[in-house]
Structure 1
């Protein structure tokens, strides 16, 4: 997931369909399609699915490249949909993670967040102000993150329990929790906690806590409210020299230099 990059947005639209709306045997060879059903209903026939798939308000439709599909809008309750057609690459592998990470149709618990993100993307796309493509790609990346994260939570045992411990670490960024403390809080064995945590985040517990602390310290320094020693102490580093070495290793810049550039 960390190596996924949206490279291009071909089109971004909000469409209120008519009762007669339909698509026939359509596919995109070089682009993905992500759609959010805002109102109404539609029926999709997707290559590889034995039965037609109904889409209702709150459903997310994801079409991978070259997926043949046909669709009709409900004649009584035609659907209103937000659609983005885009391309993305995964720098870590030859085949994009999107080809298998998201289902074709899903019901999301992030409906409010996705609706707001789509609205912000549509506004930026319509206004066409300088930098709008960069903004739209960033917003789309956040949408994909939410959807992929949701799939992780649904398919990984104990994922929500791990999320609770992550929230605890994030809230108490000045503390450093041991594997045994976190595992006990999650009700898991230390070895299993360590395994699931790495699967969900891509980091060890130690790496995650250090990165979180450094990012928080960076925010403190950029705010101008504290010096390097104070920032180190706020995030739980007793040795300012060690803090500075870790900060530079992870950010590429000394914290004192960051203060000067602010």
Structure 2
């Protein structure tokens, strides 16, 4: 069994798709780690209270961790740590294998820094506690629930880093919300840029960096996803679904739908 002498720890160990252990533990102010690394797992920790000092490979100076900080240890990252003897830290920790969670290693390695400060302290704490409750109750499907909660935590942290490191990211998010709400319209770059208070060229650049798509690609995918929902609901036919999301030509709509989903919209109707 893995042993981790953290101060008040909740942690999940994911190995080949299963949770091996979940522990809540209190330790003394003398807690410390010496020259550790994990070859097969990532470590994600949320400082709930107190303080600790980490020495991480690649960092010239020791790093202080306090309430609201997130620690992310990549595989094989050598680290040592000590807890503040006066104010020992309390921490939530999840240890997982990204492959088992269908998360690309490259995404995790580049999206999350080793130490960061989160504005989602309450949300992350609630997610950790929900995982603990699910593990304790062990109701049918609890492992799936724990996986989903962990994925949500990773999404929140990755999105937060994206918003912190990309200029005007929140402004772009407002225009994305506008496009999502008015899915039957097709907005031009000039309309969206004016709404964001940016030049069209800069808006285009930031939008692609944030979403991975051009504005046109994003709107098309959003419309097709919405049309798919309409078709699966059974409330409309192909022509009606096309019109609802702003396609005037049903044949063009069907061609785009198949290109993005792999099937014709009429085939989707038959699968309901």
Query: When the two structures are superposed, what TM-score results if normalisation uses the length of structure 1?
Result: 0.83
The separation in 2 between residues aligned to 1:92 and 1:195, in whole angstroms, is: 29
Shift of 1:220: 2.6
- Label 1:215 to 1:125 Cα distance change in 2 as closer, same or farther (>3 A): farther
- Label 1:222 to 1:196 Cα distance change in 2 as closer, same or farther (>3 A): same
Q: Is the 8 A contact 2:101 2:147 kept in 1?
A: no
Structure 1 window deviating more from structure 2 (173-182 vs 63-72): it is: 63-72
The separation in 1 between residues aligned to 2:112 and 2:86, in whole angstroms, is: 30
RMSD, aligned α-carbons: 2.9
Shift of 1:188: 2.0
Shift of 1:171: 1.6
The separation in 2 between residues aligned to 1:250 and 1:11, in whole angstroms, is: 41
Alignment size in residue pairs: 254
- Label 1:162 to 1:96 Cα distance change in 2 as closer, same or farther (>3 A): same
Shift of 1:16: 4.3
Q: Is the 8 A contact 1:16 1:79 kept in 2?
A: no
Q: Is the 8 A contact 1:89 1:96 kept in 2?
A: no
The separation in 2 between residues aligned to 1:175 and 1:13, in whole angstroms, is: 51
Which residue of 205, 220, 226 maps to 1:216?
Answer: 226
Partner residue in 1 for 2:268: 258
Secondary structure of the residue aligned to 1:30 is coil
Unaligned runs of 5+ in 1: 1-8
Q: Is the 8 A contact 2:98 2:105 kept in 1?
A: no
Structure 1 window deviating more from structure 2 (203-212 vs 218-227): it is: 218-227
Secondary structure of the residue aligned to 1:89 is coil
- Higher RCO by CA contacts (8 Å cutoff, separation 6 or greater): 1
The separation in 2 between residues aligned to 1:112 and 1:174, in whole angstroms, is: 36
- Label 1:160 to 1:69 Cα distance change in 2 as closer, same or farther (>3 A): same
Secondary structure of the residue aligned to 2:24 is strand
- Label 1:125 to 1:179 Cα distance change in 2 as closer, same or farther (>3 A): same
- Label 1:30 to 1:117 Cα distance change in 2 as closer, same or farther (>3 A): same
The separation in 1 between residues aligned to 2:235 and 2:199, in whole angstroms, is: 41
Secondary structure of the residue aligned to 1:85 is strand
Which residue of 140, 145, 159 maps to 2:155?
Answer: 145
Q: Is the 8 A contact 1:221 1:227 kept in 2?
A: yes
Unaligned runs of 5+ in 2: 1-18
- Label 1:84 to 1:94 Cα distance change in 2 as closer, same or farther (>3 A): closer
Structure 1 window deviating more from structure 2 (180-189 vs 134-143): it is: 134-143
- Label 1:212 to 1:116 Cα distance change in 2 as closer, same or farther (>3 A): farther
Q: Is the 8 A contact 2:239 2:250 kept in 1?
A: yes
Secondary structure of the residue aligned to 1:183 is helix
Q: Is the 8 A contact 1:13 1:82 kept in 2?
A: no
Shift of 1:178: 0.8
Structure 1 window deviating more from structure 2 (174-183 vs 139-148): it is: 139-148
- Label 1:15 to 1:179 Cα distance change in 2 as closer, same or farther (>3 A): farther
Shift of 1:35: 0.7
